A and B are shown apart, each in its own frame.
Chain A
Amino acid sequence: AQKVTQAQTEISVVEKEDVTLDCVYETRDTTYYLFWYKQPPSGELVFLIRRNSFDEQNEISGRYSWNFQKSTSSFNFTITASQVVDSAVYFCALSGPNLFGNEKLTFGTGTRLTIIP
């Protein structure tokens, strides 16, 4: 069975500080996919990134960066120079191999991030 753990329930930081959101996953699949989604106060789920299990390169997109470490089954998300607009709930999710009927997302419980002005 697949499992995603986001141990940090809530994090508060002062604006412009860096913050890292942790994600640890469990799966028996050798091929899998990891995702991060953002849920702002308005409620929608916004896709941020997708990472394949066979690609361990870290990725940077503006102030966002992601650190994928297969050895520790972690896919952590860092926001640099945080801004108030980053305040949201962030979800890490896991999906299995690209097989029909196996595309569902397993979500973590989310981390509520509050950026204090």
Chain B
Amino acid sequence: DSGVTQTPKHLITATGQRVTLRCSPRSGDLSVYWYQQSLDQGLQFLIQYYNGEERAKGNILERFSAQQFPDLHSELNLSSLELGDSALYFCASSSRLAGVKETQYFGPGTRLLVL
């Protein structure tokens, strides 16, 4: 158990809909990362938040957005869903000590199926 939790585990929805994926980082971790794992694209970085602020962006679609709340949990919002958005969405967290490279620990993922 990595200590990172994600809900829900599975999500089935229809095209055009909007969903919210939730992530709680390990206790004390300030950074949250979102990754998408699909058959087409493999594992890809979407976005990073650090202590409530967006820190880095990857190949995240404009239809997708994220935020990190004061209690450090994060949500990934996916809207106007398309069939191609079906994937496993991972959240990872790490602490950040000055001058120290930290390891990202991953949650169990949310499996999204768009029908």
Contacts and interface: CB of A to CB of B under 8 A. Distances in A.
A91 B42 CA distance: 10
Nearest to B54: A101
Nearest to B111: A43
A45 B90 contact: yes
A71 interface: no
B64 interface: no
B26 to A, nearest CB: 12
B43 A107 contact: yes
B18 interface: no
Interface of B is mostly: strand
A98 B58 CA distance: 17
A45 B6 CA distance: 13
A95 interface: yes
A52 B101 contact: yes
A91 B108 CA distance: 16
Contacts, number: 66
Interface residues of B, number: 30
Contact of B42 (A42, A46, A103, A109): A109
A23 to B, nearest CB: 14
Interface residues of A, number: 25
Contacts of A64: none
Given A44-B108, A95-B101, A103 B31 contact: yes
A108 B48 CA distance: 19
A95 to B, nearest CB: 7
A47 B48 contact: no
Interface of A: 33, 35, 37, 42-47, 50, 52, 91, 95, 98, 100-110
Given A45-B90, A101-B55, 8 more contacts: A43-B108, A44-B106, A44-B109, A46-B2, A47-B2, A47-B104, A98-B101, A104-B56
Give the 10 A-B CB pairs with smallest separation, nearest first: A45-B106, A107-B43, A104-B45, A101-B56, A98-B101, A44-B108, A101-B55, A109-B42, A50-B103, A33-B101
